[in-house]
Structures are given as structure tokens and as C-alpha cells.
Amino acid sequence: MRLRVLGAAAGGGFPQWNCGCPGCRAVRDGSRPATPRTQSSIAVSPDGDRWWLVNASPDVRTQLADAPALHPVGDRGTPLQGVLLTDAEIDHTLGLVLLREGGGVHLHATAATHRTLREGTGLLPTLERFCPVSWTEVVPGADHDLGGLSYRAFDAPTAKHDRFGPPRDAGGTATGSGAGRVVGYRFTDTATGRVAVYLPGVQALTPEVLDEIAGADLLLVDGTTWHDDELVRLGLAAKTAHDMGHLHVGGPGGSLDVLTALDLPRIVYVHVNNTNPILLEDSDERAEVEKAGVTVGHDGLELEV
């Protein structure tokens, strides 16, 4: 299978329009080496001819323009077969509206994500005013065949707070209907059996999540921040990465330590927030990631599994 990182940054991109953090400043003024990145999304294909997006970011128009394999076929054709969603975050779904010219959008989403898009953010009714939308329900744990490629979604632990999410009990735990609110995808090439896992949003690397990652030939994983309290330290937000349903990379218990111990052939950080110093190419943190044999994902990164 082939994969292309369309956007390697978290929500807001790199630089973010209203952010003056050290990384965003560096990429604007060139004072330190840093490469701009668009918002989080990948494309995946079994054969290079048929492609599926995983998430549709607000930057989808430029992401498709920059990807020759995703250019139109004939006068008005597209290699795009559909869009798989990991969740209903606006940064992962706003691009659906920008795909309206395609004559219809085919969504793969869990029931929880579908419900949030319809009743919470209202993005689905908006999209349906512009083009037909069809839906394949993604059921965590169940295999779904795309022809040459199959996927199995799995539940990713997420933050308790979700203003659009399904009901929670008094302790903040999502009730039964909360399952499927955030998922990762495990893709298998049906010809070779090789596996790629895409997990751009996960709050904790629990034993269940590590089981889903096990044996993958490629892991594309949440690299949101370096420190868990990075946004707090910078005075940009009151929430930690964990509070927002994401991982931190550095330090004891950070994802770099945990994931490199798994001995996977290839790990790529995606969904990297603009505050994360691994985006600064001369930083100690970037050097530490690279020394561990892990890639900091960038837009346009092509991977074959």
C-alpha cells in the first residue's frame, strides 16, 4: 500500500495564523530552520490509483494540489474514493465541505462521529445542502474491505471533555454510546499482509492501544507536544496535551520512550502542534527523536508499506 502525509501539523497548522510561539515565529521570520506544515490528514491507497483520505483538513485544497497522485483523472474524475474519519474535530472535517465539487462525498465514520457531525457541529447538514453524502458506518473491531486494502478501526482513549460528544456520566466517563468517538485505523494490504496504523489523536498508550499497534510495519502517531504541559508553560492555554486528548513525546513516560521500546520498523510523528520544539530542525528535541530512529512527519512525505 502507499501512504502520503498530506498535512503533518495539528489544528492551526505551522505557523498558526494567530500564534507567536517560538516555533511559529521561527517559521515566519526564518530565524531558525523550520518547515511550514498544513493541518493533519493522510491519503492511503492499495495501488496508487484509488485513494482514500483519512480526515479532511481545512487545507485539503492545497494538499490535493500538491499531490500528483491525487490529481484529476480525465475532465472531471478523481482518484478519491472516500474519506475515513478518526473523529469529528473541526480540523479533521472542515475540508469535507471543500470536496463538494466532486459530485458527492462518501464518508466512513463511526456512529458517534456521524452523530456529532449531524447534531453537534452541524457540519453534515451543511455539507448535504451542497452535495450528496453517503455513509459507511465504521464499527471498531470490525474489518472493512476497500479492495486490495482493508481497515479495522479501534477505539482511542480520549479526553473527558467534549462539548459536542455524547452524554457522560457524573465522573466524566463517556456512556456506552461514547464508544467510537475517537478511533485509530489499522490498514492491511490484502495482497501482502503488511500493516500501517494511523493514530493522530490518542490520550494514552494503554495496553489495548499497544495491542493494536503491535506488529505494524509503519506507525503514524500523535506527536502533538513535547511536554505534556507545553501550552501551559508558554502561556497559550490552560490545558495539557492529555486534557486535549493527545500525547506528549518527550521525557519519561513520553511516547518516544514507550513506542521505541516496541521495536517497530518505522515510526512517524504526525499531528505535531506548532509549539512542539521537534518542528525546529536545530533543536535538541528534534535531534533526540532522530537519534531514536523516528521520523518527524512533513507534508508530502510518501511511504510505501
What is the closest distance, in whole angstroms, from the C-beta atom of residue 135 to Zn ion in the complex?
35
What is the closest distance, in whole angstroms, from the C-beta atom of residue 224 to Zn ion in the complex?
12
Interaction between residue 274 and Zn ion (CB under 5 A): yes
By beta-carbon proximity to Zn ion, the closer residue of 204 and 236 is: 236
Interaction between residue 283 and Zn ion (CB under 5 A): no
What is the closest distance, in whole angstroms, from the C-beta atom of residue 226 to Zn ion in the complex?
13
* Distance in angstroms (rounded) separating the CA atoms of residues 63 and 35: 15
* Distance in angstroms (rounded) separating the CA atoms of residues 124 and 85: 13
Least Cα distance to 224 among 187, 276, 180 occurs for: 276
Annotate each residue in 5-44 with x if it binds Zn ion (CB under 5 A) or - if it does not, as one string: --------------x-x--x--------------------
By beta-carbon proximity to Zn ion, the closer residue of 189 and 299 is: 299
Which residues, 6 or more positions from 184, have their beta carbon under 8 angstroms from its beta carbon? Answer: 86, 153, 154, 156, 197, 198, 199, 200, 202, 209, 212
- Asked if residues 4 and 69 have their Cβ atoms less than 8 Å apart, the reply is yes
Q: Provide the edge-to-edge strand list for the sheet that holds 183-189.
A: 143-145, 149-155, 183-189, 195-199, 218-222, 267-270, 295-296
What is the closest distance, in whole angstroms, from the C-beta atom of residue 277 to Zn ion in the complex?
11
By beta-carbon proximity to Zn ion, the closer residue of 21 and 247 is: 21
Q: Which three cell numbers stand for residue 192?
A: 501482502
- Choices 51-59, 120-128, 267-275, 283-291; region in contact with Zn ion by CB under 5 A: 267-275
By beta-carbon proximity to Zn ion, the closer residue of 93 and 274 is: 274
- Asked if residues 152 and 143 have their Cβ atoms less than 8 Å apart, the reply is yes
- Which residues of the shown chain bind Zn ion in the complex (CB under 5 A)? 19, 21, 24, 274
